[in-house]
Amino acid sequence: MNLILLGPPGAGKGTQARKLQDERGLIQLSTGDMLRAAVKSGSEIGRKAKAVMDAGKLVSDDIMIAMIEERISQPDCDKGFILDGFPRTEAQAQALDAMLGRKGLKLDHVIEMAVDEKALTERIVGRYTCAKCGAGYHDSFQKPKVAGICDVCGGKEFTRRADDNAETVRTRLEAYRKQTQPILPYYRAKGVLKSVDGMAEIDEVARQIGAVLS
Ligand code: ADP
Ligand code: AMP
């Protein structure tokens, strides 16, 4: 099964994609994580992307399309994948269709995570992850069971993203409204778009996604 989770930054795409990966064996393909790995490695793509990401703008379609095509071609994706953060523009959505067509693959569901924009700054500014295993947390909404210790791996170090600050969030939400929201009608017209209530609690959102998939 191949899915897209669509929604603005902070909607809960990564949180739900990781759950689906753990529970259903689908592979989470987060273009944001791929770019952050490229920045960390100091590769040419990472050097090009860093300033754009820090400013909260979108990295060029050429780079993103090539990155996702290379990743989808790897054998682990045969199990099915969840796209988290891609596509973000109409050009990316069209390129994805062409790429899946060439590989004989299809999209089963595009799930819109509907959220109230007013809640997103608090979600994003409070977000952090385990430095060792990448498990996601939030200062108020998703705390580790024991303070300072990762539930998943016992790690004690956590990181926050450089772009998770109130100023960048404004630019990122504007990019979502202008460049990403217009792709919703594209998927609605194809009959694959479903919507879940991204404002519900994490487990309830997961239940609604489960209902779409079954
Ligand atoms: P995205 O991948 O869409 O940018 P995340 O999954 O990283 O969003 O979620 C952003 C932050 O909000 C994280 O810190 C996460 O723990 C928290 N979060 C995710 N889903 C919910 C929810 N349904 N209710 C409250 N907080 C949530
Ligand atoms: P995310 O982790 O999805 O919030 O993405 C972090 C940042 O990476 C975004 O603000 C963009 O700068 C960049 N990015 C991630 N995915 C894409 C994409 N599909 N197209 C363009 N830029 C992207």
Q: How does pLDDT run across 148-161, given as a tens digit for each residue?
A: 999 999 999 999 99
Distances (CA, A) of 32 to 35, 87, 108, 125, 151: 5, 11, 22, 16, 23
88 catalytic per annotation? yes
Question: Given strand 109-114, what is the order of strands in its sheet?
Answer: 27-30, 81-84, 3-6, 109-114, 193-197
172 catalytic per annotation? yes
103 catalytic per annotation? no
Residue-wise pLDDT for 167-193, tens only, equals 999 999 999 999 999 999 999 999 999
Q: pTM for the full model?
A: 0.97
pLDDT at 14: 97
Q: Provide φ and ψ at 14, rounded to 5°.
A: -65, -40
Strand partners, 129: 136, 159
Residue-wise pLDDT for 91-111, tens only, equals 999 999 999 999 999 999 999
Residue nearest to atom 13 of ligand 1 (CA): 127
Report residue 154 as tokens.
């016992």
Give the β-pairing of 3-6 and 27-30.
unpaired
CA of 71 to the centre of ligand 1 (A): 24
Residue nearest to atom 11 of ligand 2 (CA): 58
CA of 39 to the centre of ligand 2 (A): 12
* Ligand that comes closest to the CA of residue 170: 2
